[in-house]
Each structure stands twice: as C-alpha cells, then as structure tokens.
A and B are shown apart, each in its own frame.
Chain A
Amino acid sequence: MHIFANPNRFLAIARPLTPWLGWTGALLLAAALASGLMLTPADYLQGESVRIMYVHVPAAWLGMAGWSGIAAASLMQLVWRHPLAGVAARAIAVPGALFTAICLATGSIWGRPTWGTWWEWDGRLTSMLVLFFLYIAYLALAGADDERGQQGSRIAAIFGLVGAVNIPVIHYSVLWWRTLHQGQSITLKGSAIDMSILWPLPIAMLGFTLLFAAIVLIRMRTLLAEAKVEARLKRMAAA
C-alpha cells in the first residue's frame, strides 16, 4: 500500500479509474433495477413490495461496508501512518452515511405494507440507526479537526475504530435478539430467497458497490486537491 504514499502516484491511477468504476456501476445498476422491476416475479406473501429489496439490501451492505472501510483506513492511519488513510476514511464517510440513510428510508417504506409499521425499536432497526448517527458524529469530528488545520488528526481515526463495534452488532442482531426484522436470507449455506427473485440482487449489489467506489475516489481527489490549494495559499501568504 505504501506505493500510494505519494499522492501523485495514487492520482495517476485514481483519475482514469474513476469513470470506469462509475459507468460500469451505473450500467450494472440500471440493468439490475430494470430486471428487478420488470422481469422478476412478485413474492407469494409480500407481493410487489419485495422489489424494494434490490435497493434496500445493497444500501445496507454499503452502509456497513463503508464503516468497515473507515475502520480499516483508521487502523492504517494509526499504525502505519499512511498519508492517504485519513483521506480515504473521510472520503468514505459521506457516501456511507448516505447509503445508511437510504437503507433506513427504504426499510421504513417496506415495513409499512408488510409489517404494518413505519418504524419499530427492534434490534436490527435500532442498531442500523445507531450506525447512521455514528456516521454523522464521524463527519462532525473529522470536519472540526480539518477546520482547525489538523488534517491528519487521530481523533477521527480512533472514533472510526471504536465505532466498528457496531458492525457485528448489526449483523448478529437478528440472531441474538428476537426482532421484528426477519432473519438472514442469504447465509453461507445458501439462500432462502428463490433464484427467480434473487438473481438481480447480486448484480445490483455489485453496481452499487462500483458506484460507491467511484464516489469515494472522486471525494479523495477532491480532498487532496483541497489540501494542495490550502498548502499553496499558505506558501503564498508566507512569501
């Protein structure tokens, strides 16, 4: 990873990679959502509302994967002092919060026709809401540090690591506690979702993930450019 310690070397790869990731992701996503809306059958119990799954599940995955990424980058920043790790963690936070919010919103819309409620304080829903608040807190913390000119400050990194405790809680919430949310449909042993309904889901997840990666790269480049401008202004002020 230390090849990328030089931001210029990182940018040389990130710049051409961004449109590739973005467009491939958008195409996969369009294909998956169109199939999910038109080609797959409705569920025997939930009817058409099952189609919310093709947005809800990828959004949940990215919300959780996003924080796992923040935790990994924070560890790299704290231990190896990688200069881009802090930038990567900050870049992930906004899209991570966005997808967590999408997950909560689509889940709420899905819950109304199926369970009969917009919101219930069960283990899965509450732990996901906590994840959203963690993202907001991370953004506030990192933003406050950056404003004080401590771009590489370690407080946000420590918070990113500590917050990772919530990720297994979300994952196991439906196993540890009786919840209104149903158990895991897809496990290592296979899927409880029939193939005819399931097949667009992995495509949608891949599409959303590539799009997420493109957003993160764009944000990393923005943060690096901002730092460059800041440094240049400082030099000019000193001269």
Chain B
Amino acid sequence: MKAKHQRLSLALIALVAIIGAGLLAMSALKDQAAYFYTPSDAARDHVRPGVAVRLGGMVQKGSIRREADGVTIRFVVTDGAEAVPVRFKGIVPDLFKEDSGVVAEGRFEPGGGFVADNILAKHDERYMPPQMAGEMHRSESLKK
C-alpha cells in the first residue's frame, strides 16, 4: 500500500466517522432544536402552564379579534389537528394575517389558552407577484 493510499483511506475513514458523529448528534437534537411547539406537540407533551415556550402554527381563518382597548388581540393558532386560543397585547408584524404562519412567544395559561409576549410572522417558501397570489397562497410550510 502506497503512503498516498494509506493517507487517503485514513482521511476517508476519519471523514465518515466525523459525519456519522455529526448526524448522531443532530438526530439526538431533533426534538430539542425545534424552534416552536405546534398545538399538537403542546397537547401531546403536556407543556406546563407558565413555562416560556414558542407556539407556532397557522392563524385560523376568521379568528382575529381586536379587543376594546385597541391594542389587545385574540386569535387561534392551529395546525389542522389541534387549536390554541392566543392573547397578545402589542404590535404585530405586517405579515401577521389570517391563514398565514405565526410563531407566538409566551406561556400557556392554566385554562389551556396562550398568552404571547411577542409575535413573529412565518412566511413560506413561495414568492410571487401580487396579481398571481389569489387563493393559492395557503401556506404549506407547517406540514413538513
């Protein structure tokens, strides 16, 4: 075996070992590295009330309600299976709208509702000019 081949096989073995270790680490991270809970996750994992978490999903169509004080809004986050009512006081991003993705930072209340301190809008990977977007912009980014 020539020295060059020895080095090549050594490098390849090292590379396979490193990538394997990396993949193992990443798959172990899988659940912890998720950026938010979906309503189904939150129901399955019994997220305790009062713990700071992020809740992500779609804003249910027709669910946005503005309260009398003008700055508090209520809406429902859904992932198709489960739905969670959310209350938020403050300014929402421009892209926050019904039937669109949202990530709410806050905590669950004992009653099953969610109080958000911050609202982030999540858009999907489809970009198109305004005249094309009619009904076809229903986000699918949460199904992954």
Contact = CB atoms under 8 A, between A and B. Distances in A.
A194 interface: yes
B7 A44 contact: no
Interface string B55-67: 0100000000000
A194 to B, nearest CB: 4
A179 B119 CA distance: 15
Size category of the A interface is 35 or more
Interface in B91-114: 92-96, 100, 103
Nearest to B6: A79
Interface residues of B, number: 44
A79 B40 CA distance: 50
B26 A44 contact: no
Interface of A: 41-47, 50, 53, 75, 78-80, 113-117, 120-123, 161-162, 165, 168-169, 175-180, 182-185, 192-194, 196-198
Given A178-B144, A184-B125, 9 more contacts: A43-B130, A46-B123, A116-B96, A165-B21, A165-B22, A183-B125, A194-B129, A194-B132, A197-B129
A121 B29 CA distance: 14
Interface of B: 4, 7-8, 11, 14-15, 18-19, 21-22, 26, 29-30, 33-36, 38, 56, 92-96, 100, 103, 118-130, 132-133, 137, 141, 144
22 contacts: A42-B130, A45-B137, A46-B95, A53-B127, A78-B11, A114-B95, A115-B120, A115-B121, A115-B123, A116-B96, A120-B35, A121-B35, A169-B22, A175-B144, A177-B29, A177-B35, A179-B35, A182-B141, A183-B144, A192-B127, A194-B128, A194-B129
Contacts of A41: 129-130
Nearest to B130: A44
